[in-house]
Structure 1
Amino acid sequence: MAPVRFGIPLYEYQALDVMGPLDVIAGYEENNLIPKGLHENGLELEFYHISDTTHKSKPTNLELENLDVVATVTTAECPPIDYLLFGGPLPSYKLSEEMNTFIQDRVAKGEIKTIFTTCTGAAVLAQTGLLDGKRATVHMGIIDLARQMYPAVNWVQKTDKGNWVIDGNIWTANGACTGMDMFAHWLIQQCGLELAKYQFWTLNYAPRGIDGQLLSL
């Protein structure tokens, strides 16, 4: 089976927005304690942290945690990818023209199965125009600002109870931890409940549903 490739544009996002969801889906791969019969349901995952061509060797500082992250590939080097994940930076963050073009080109080629955003990552994706006309959520602290900045997006109302929104092949979560729950839902879909339950157990993690209530697994 071909590996499943995630591309993560690298900028000053909150670390948990990206690391949390990736940990939810990644931990089972190399664990020899997985019960027999579950390996065949797993995915071979590859993660590509993508920078502009001029910034590959320059660490990006995730200022909130004072954590330096170095890209694994540039936009020019990145192989075909299946999924994109956008973490959440400050609302003032502006996507570079190079990264914007890279994202739009990869989507136009039809290689991207699903785009995920967590927290304010939806405001980053909105800069590409790919959220225009789509229903989406973002951190509720900036929902009014997002509505002003990107009026072509069908942003949820503050009264909406769902912690994430699925519109076609775009999944948007309203926070870092709800992004983990969203990825837990995706993992169950992709690999089945039994393998997903094992993965949640390895993390001592209890995922919630879209309504914020603990799932009964």
Structure 2
Amino acid sequence: MAPIQFGILAFAYQVLDAVGPTDLLFSANKSTMETLGQYGPIDEDLISRAPEFAFHHIGVTRDAVNLGTSQMTIIPTTIVDECPELDILLVAGPYLGNFELHPKHADLIQRHVAAGKILFTNCTGASLVASTGVLDGKKATVNNVEYEWVRKRWPKVNWTREKKWIIDGNIWTGSGAIAGTDMVAHWIKENYGLDVLIQAAVTLDYEPRDSDGLFNVFPRRFASNGEKVSTHVFRHHAE
């Protein structure tokens, strides 16, 4: 099966908005699981169902991009004019509140959504996407700190903060860096199975939350007092 072509717009974004979801996806990679099999047994059927991703960091030019947080700088792996056809596009939240998308990035978003491809936004990335018009008439969420400002600036979007993430057709919006990672975890589970998600999460010592922000994604156990407790991913994996 051909790798899933996954693009991330390269501009001054909050680092965790992008690397949280993409690190989880990388951990779900078939090739990653095959490598990790040398440290402990991983079911062959699980590996056979795991996806494979090719990641593209898409700049307007190939110049280095200062991401603004963590004093991190990246070099785009491709540019808009040369980017391969994408299956999924991720728009992270900008580091600066008054940031505006470059017209080439905006055009890429519009073309991607019009083609029916999956768009992930994380945190304030939804406000950038709203500026392109593709969220008009759609239900979406955004970082709660920015919620009222965004709701007034782009009133044609059906903004909500009732959930940690919202799915409306091919557009998935997460309300914050960790919520967006949880959202991508849900996508993995729905498309490849809970066991693939658990195996990916094991490598990060990570347990995702559901869209209400609750730890209800992985199986629960009952403590001696009858209360539900989380099944630790390592223990679950070992069983």
CA–CA distance in structure 1, aligned partners of residues 108 and 175 of structure 2: 25
Does the CA contact (< 8 Å) of 1:91 and 1:123 recur in 2? no
CA–CA distance in structure 2, aligned partners of residues 152 and 87 of structure 1: 21
Does the CA contact (< 8 Å) of 2:50 and 2:196 recur in 1? yes
SS, match of residue 76 in structure 1: helix
**Structure 2 residue identity aligned to 1:179:** G
Q: CA RMSD in A?
A: 1.3
**1:91 match:** 97
Higher helix share: 2
**1:210 match:** 211
Which protein shows a greater Rg?
2
Does the CA contact (< 8 Å) of 1:20 and 1:176 recur in 2? yes
Deviations 1:125-181 (A, max 9, x none): 111110001111000101111012111111115xx2x10111111110110001111
**2:200 match:** 199
Q: Within 5 Å, which residues of 2 pair with 1:121-200?
A: 121-157=125-161, 160=162, 162-200=163-201
**2:19 match:** 19
CA–CA distance in structure 1, aligned partners of residues 26 and 195 of structure 2: 15
For residue 105 of structure 1, report the CA deviation from its aligned partner: 2.5
CA–CA distance in structure 1, aligned partners of residues 28 and 51 of structure 2: 9
CA–CA distance in structure 2, aligned partners of residues 141 and 204 of structure 1: 28
35-44 vs 139-148, which moves further: 35-44
Equivalenced residues, count: 209
Q: Does structure 1 residue 42 correspond to structure 2 residue 30?
A: no
Point out where structure 2 has 5 or more consecutive residues left out of the alignment: 220-239
Under a length normalisation based on structure 2, what TM-score does the superposition of the two structures give?
0.84
**2:81 match:** 76
SS, match of residue 145 in structure 1: helix
Does the CA contact (< 8 Å) of 2:28 and 2:51 recur in 1? no
Under a length normalisation based on structure 1, what TM-score does the superposition of the two structures give?
0.92
Q: Identity over aligned residues, as a percent?
A: 40
For residue 8 of structure 1, report the CA deviation from its aligned partner: 0.9
Structure 1 residue runs of 4+, over 6 Å off? none
| Larger RCO, structures 1/2 (Cα 8 Å, 6+ apart) | 1
CA–CA distance in structure 2, aligned partners of residues 28 and 83 of structure 1: 15
**Structure 1 residue identity aligned to 2:105:** M
SS, match of residue 166 in structure 2: strand
Q: 1:185 to 1:141 in 2, by over 3 A?
A: same
